[in-house]
Chain A
Amino acid sequence: MWTPRFCLKWGPQLKQLRAAVASTQLRAISARIVNDSFIVVQPESEGSAGSESLTYPGVWLRDNCSCSECFHASSQSRRLDWDNFDASVRPQHLHTDADTQEIHVRWSDSHVSSYSLQWLRERSFKDQRQRNYLDDFYRPRTHHWRGADFEHVAQRFDYGDVMHDDRALRDWLQALAVYGVALIGGAPIDKGVVRQLAERVGFIRRTTYGEEFIVQAKPGAKNFAYLSDPLPLHTDLPYYEYKPSVNILHCMVQTESRGGSNLLVDAFHIADRLRAEHPEDFERLKETPVDWNDIGSEDGREFHNIWRSPVICLDGDGRYTRINHSVPQRDSHFNVPLDQVLPWYESYARFVRMARADAHSFKTQPGDVLTFNNIRLLHGRTGYDDTEENSRYIVGAYLDWDIIYSRLRVLKKKLPPA
Chain B
Amino acid sequence: MNWTTIRNHLQDSFKSIKRNGWMAFAAISGVAVTILLVGISLAVVLNVTKLSRDVENDVRVQVAVEPKTTAKQKDKLEAQLKDIPSVKKITYSSKANELTKIVSQYGSSFKMFGGDDNPLPDMFILEASDPQKTVTIANRAKKLTHVSRASYGGSQTKKLFSTMNSVRNWGLAFSILLLFVAVFLISNTIRITILSRSTEIEIMRLVGATRWYIRWPFILEGAWTGLLGVIVPLIAIDLGYSSIFRGVGRQLATSGYSLIQPQALIWPLNISLLVIAMLIGAFGAAISMRRFLKV
Q: Do A and B come from one complex?
A: no
Chain B residues at the A interface, C-beta cutoff of 8 Å: none
Chain A residues at the B interface, C-beta cutoff of 8 Å: none
